[in-house]
Amino acid sequence: MKKFFSVNDITDLHTIVKEAITLKKTPQQNNHLGKGKTIGLVFLNSSLRTRLSTQKAAQNLGLHTIILNANQEAWTWEFEDGAIMNGNTVEHVKDAANVLSQYCDIIGIRCFASLTNKEEDITEKVYTLFEKYAKVPVVSLESATLHPFQSLADCITIEEHLPKNKKPKVVLTWAPHIKAIPHAVGNSFAQWMNQTDYDFVITHPVGYELDTKFTQNAVIEYNQEKALENADFVYVKNWSSFQDYGKVIPVEEDWMLTNDKLRGTNNAKIMHCLPVRRNVEISDEVLDSENSLVYQQANNRTYAAQIVLQKILENHE
Amino acid sequence: MKKFFSVNDITDLHTIVKEAITLKKTPQQNNHLGKGKTIGLVFLNSSLRTRLSTQKAAQNLGLHTIILNANQEAWTWEFEDGAIMNGNTVEHVKDAANVLSQYCDIIGIRCFASLTNKEEDITEKVYTLFEKYAKVPVVSLESATLHPFQSLADCITIEEHLPKNKKPKVVLTWAPHIKAIPHAVGNSFAQWMNQTDYDFVITHPVGYELDTKFTQNAVIEYNQEKALENADFVYVKNWSSFQDYGKVIPVEEDWMLTNDKLRGTNNAKIMHCLPVRRNVEISDEVLDSENSLVYQQANNRTYAAQIVLQKILENHE
Amino acid sequence: MKKFFSVNDITDLHTIVKEAITLKKTPQQNNHLGKGKTIGLVFLNSSLRTRLSTQKAAQNLGLHTIILNANQEAWTWEFEDGAIMNGNTVEHVKDAANVLSQYCDIIGIRCFASLTNKEEDITEKVYTLFEKYAKVPVVSLESATLHPFQSLADCITIEEHLPKNKKPKVVLTWAPHIKAIPHAVGNSFAQWMNQTDYDFVITHPVGYELDTKFTQNAVIEYNQEKALENADFVYVKNWSSFQDYGKVIPVEEDWMLTNDKLRGTNNAKIMHCLPVRRNVEISDEVLDSENSLVYQQANNRTYAAQIVLQKILENHE
């Protein structure tokens, strides 16, 4: 593997999920692979799980980690090619990416959607420029439209809890939030689910349709109750409007996931990428129930990162 | 040892102090103990000594360290159980503690007193919730009411400078400051001194009485000059009022420690946890004298942390 | 070597440059030297290259690194001896330097010029005080007047690209900028060039003369076109006025380096310490040309740091 931006960078979803579950048993078995090598983790945005799980994965592989909170610790970046840099930006992404490549064998970068410039977000302007100018493999720590480490961890978590003798029904349900949130987790989960043979249904209020580039021919069901029927896994996530880009469109019905809403499910497992707004997106009773897999998802972030970094270090597919 | 929040988490003060002094001679002798393991250091407040000495201790034990400046690098935490999280907090401490436990074998956390909510501070609301939800051993890097690594380092420093053939007299003296400061260092020092057979006296202006939960039956002497008579160790520290919680009550007399004040002492050694407001809490002449132990205290922070982390890794008492 | 503040701390420039080029071939050959030791990197200002290259150098030597973003993560420092600390500063540099020495075997510190107090900047007040109170070797990560790791990396880069059978002509040319920038890189480059037998010319508008303490008897040529004639290396850098301290004096002519300006050179290589304001200091066409050495300079920062740290660890000259 030479980069990790989306599901398209892996050869086979089922295989990599199985490999991750195997390495989870002896996570430090390959700690010679990163010897003498360095991964740089560049954050343009906040991070808890990604920050820690990627460091943990690197440690398991014997990789040295360098963290850069780029805006606070270094210089504000310019993203326009040909820009006359007489404003607030101090270093061009072209130079930053190239320079980071001098010190790192792999670079991870987190660059959220702006939610103010749809064109720049959907073309992944920031990530794409960084990757273009980097001279070493780049992995996404969440970009404007996708969050592949999260989705791989989600697939690992589902695989570990598959119902027996049954194709699972997985429902991605929109949830309320108080502010505009990017689409990356929703898009990414849809993209990865589309690579499985699971029954996959997306439910959200009218106006909250995700980019069809990622949802493809997934079933969209606007009635949350109907969507949740017989679900084995319910993935809860808020996102802002894609059509009316980055806006929070008022919704009349209550979309918060509660125990009451889960009655029609097949004793569904509950998933969320965290951080979660408790009692806004999901009720405490659901999050704190035995069916909640949210901490297992967080734990699997380590092994999702580790299997990818391992493949990059081995330069295998 | 399974946690380290206060003196109550150690079996015997004298023994652990002796053990720390022994490991100081060959600090890297046990660098296999932490192999493949990770300590997460979570800072909700500023830190210099704690930040560096705990990293140094971890390194000596072969432990990998992950630092998290939680508010700047990750998400603002919610501390109310059952909160409807539609405000400024982004992640519940319940989830943060649980998630951090997925990546760390030990977690240290610093969470200062607010000084605005006495009830929450004295019940150690933040620390207690974090510890409750963490699934791995938690150590305090200073909480609302106590600073146990500092106190253990202080005890080590005193032990290294004990007067011969004499029970030492240790005086904790309040000092002036320009702003409201938490009680943790003062409380904690009193709590640890109460576990020794030293003569222990606390002196401060009227209105600056510490919580009797920690001072117990220590001698309180309001006359600083009298308190300092024949002192072998003078520990200087400011704190705000506990009764009129978090307030700075004006004091007429000059409580700054100067050479003049030390005349009646037994050539006393001077201690302070640092950072110190020079020429406000203590005069330069005292801090820069040969009797000052402040840098030795800072140095012993490493061995205080290391003996505790070692016991947690060994899971010995 | 026991410290690294300027070119005066090395025995022979040519020798150390050759040694750096040699270690670049097998950078991890001496990774036993730092075993069990710690370097503390203290940043009072932003940093990308220095932050990462020094960590990389430390890693290559087996040194453990502790980073401290002093103002954000710890306490604001006081620099006045004898200060009554009843203001905004929380810890005296005397105490901070001494305490850091308890945990670190080597300390690096970055402290930019204020550009508001010429006397304090030219006397290197901050760096000098820090070094005075530190008990371990201190290396400069850029101080008020000098940037020695950058200059050593620049010398390595020039050595790697020397013209054959010819003494090289090296030109340091001032470039435009939108704000007041310190003199450290310009001063330092001049200081190191003055230790070589290269033809060294400095060109800048009237009013932008650097401190003659560093430029010594270097040729100053106010006509940029004339200065660039037959140049083999053109080092581009902005700095504010030294005479009218820290001011940006308006300049009528266009001093931005473009291909057009390079016509009279000997197919000159282009150098800049980065970050660079593209199309303000240097045009894209120049920076992105094959003659640009800016990324090689960044890469050589690692080996500049590493040879110095190695000599300090070995305590050789």
B276 touches chain C (CB under 8 A): yes
In this predicted structure, what is the pLDDT of residue C315?
87
State pLDDT tens for residues B117-134. 999 999 999 999 999 999
What pLDDT does residue B315 have?
87
Q: What is the mean pLDDT of residues B142-156?
A: 98
pLDDT digits (tens, 9 = 90+) for A147-197: 999 999 999 999 999 999 999 999 999 999 999 999 999 999 999 999 999
Q: Mean of the pLDDT values across residues B302-307?
A: 98
In single-letter form, the type of residue at position B272 comes to H
> C-chain residues within 8 Å CB-CB of A78?
278
CA distance linking residue C317 with residue C307, whole number of Å: 11
Give the chain A residue whose CA is nearest to the CA of B64.
Answer: A59
Give the minimum alpha-carbon distance from B217 to chain C in angstroms, rounded to a whole number.
Answer: 33
Q: Which chains touch B (3 or more CB pairs under 8 A)?
A: A, C
pLDDT tens-place string over residues B221-275: 999 999 999 999 999 999 999 999 999 999 999 999 999 999 999 999 999 999 9
Whether residue C295 contacts residue C312, with contact meaning beta carbons closer than 8 Å, is answered with no
Please give the annotated binding residues of C for N(2)-succinyl-L-ornithine, written as ranges: 142, 177, 237, 277
Element (H, E) at B233: strand B233-237
Tell whether residue A273 is among the known ligand binding residues: yes
Task: Give how far the C-alpha of residue B80 lies from the chain's centroid of Cα atoms, to the nearest Å.
Answer: 26
Q: What is the pLDDT of residue B149?
A: 98
Q: Is it true that domain B7-147+301-314 has CATH number 3.40.50.970?
A: no
Tokens of C75: 């306490």
Quick check: B83 and A299 CB within 8 A?
no
Whole-Å CA distances, A219 to A200, A205, A209, B177: 7, 14, 12, 65
pLDDT at A309 over 70: yes
Interface test with B, best of C69, C89, C93, C95 (most B CBs within 10 A): C95
* CA distance linking residue A251 with residue A288, whole number of Å: 26
**Does C95 lie at the interface with B, CB-CB under 8 angstroms?**
yes
CA distance C278 to chain A (A): 6
Q: Please check whether residue B80 touches A, CB under 8 A.
A: no
CB < 8 Å to C178, chain A: 86-87
pLDDT score of B317 more than 60: no
Q: Are the beta carbons of B156 and B300 closer than 8 angstroms?
A: yes
B219 alpha-carbon distance from chain centroid: 21
The residues spanned by each domain of chain B are 7-147+301-314, 162-292
Q: Collect all residues of chain B within an 8 Å Cβ-Cβ radius of residue A278.
A: 78, 83-85, 92, 95
Place of tokens 């299997």: A307
**A293 interfaces chain B, CB cutoff of 8 Å:** no
Ranges of chain C whose pLDDT falls below 70: 316-317
Q: CB C95 to CB B294 under 8 A?
A: yes
* Structure-token pair, residue A42: 């560049």
Contact yes or no for B51 and C64 at CB 8 A: no
Residue B316 has pLDDT above 80, yes or no: no
Q: Which residues of B touch A157 (CB under 8 A)?
A: none
At B249, phi and psi to the nearest 5?
-85, 125
Q: Which positions in chain B touch A302 (Cβ < 8 Å)?
A: 102-103
Confidence of residue B139 (pLDDT cuts 50, 70, 90): very high
What residues of chain B lie within 8 A of the CB of C40, using their CB?
Answer: 52
Task: State the burial class of residue C192 (Cβ atoms within 10 Å of its Cβ: 0-12, 13-18, 19+).
Answer: buried
Question: Tens digit of pLDDT for each residue in A177-191?
Answer: 999 999 999 999 999
The answer on pLDDT for B95 being more than 70 is yes
pLDDT computed for residue A292 by the predictor: 98
Query: Other C-beta atoms within 10 Å of B105: how many?
Result: 17
* Residue of A26, A32, A277 to mutate for B, most B C-beta atoms under 10 A: A277
- Tell me the mean pLDDT in the region A208-226: 97
Q: Identify all chain B residues contacting A277, using CB atoms and an 8 Å cutoff.
A: 85-86, 90
Residue B50 identity (one-letter amino acid): T
**Annotated binding residue at B240?**
no
Do the domains C162-292 and C7-147+301-314 match in fold? yes
**Could you tell me where the DSSP H helices lie in chain B?**
13-23, 49-60, 70-73, 93-103, 118-122, 125-133, 148-160, 184-193, 212-215, 224-228, 284-287, 294-314
Please tell me the distance in Å from C285's CA to the nearest CA on chain A: 10
Q: How far is C257 from chain A (nearest CA, A)?
A: 13
In the CATH hierarchy, which fold is given to the domain comprising C162-292?
A: Rossmann fold (3.40.50)
* CA–CA distance, C14 with C27 (Å, rounded to integer): 19
Count, residues in chain B: 317
Task: Please indicate whether, in this complex, the C-beta atoms of C99 and B49 are within 8 angstroms of each other.
Answer: yes
Residue B64 marked as a ligand binder = no
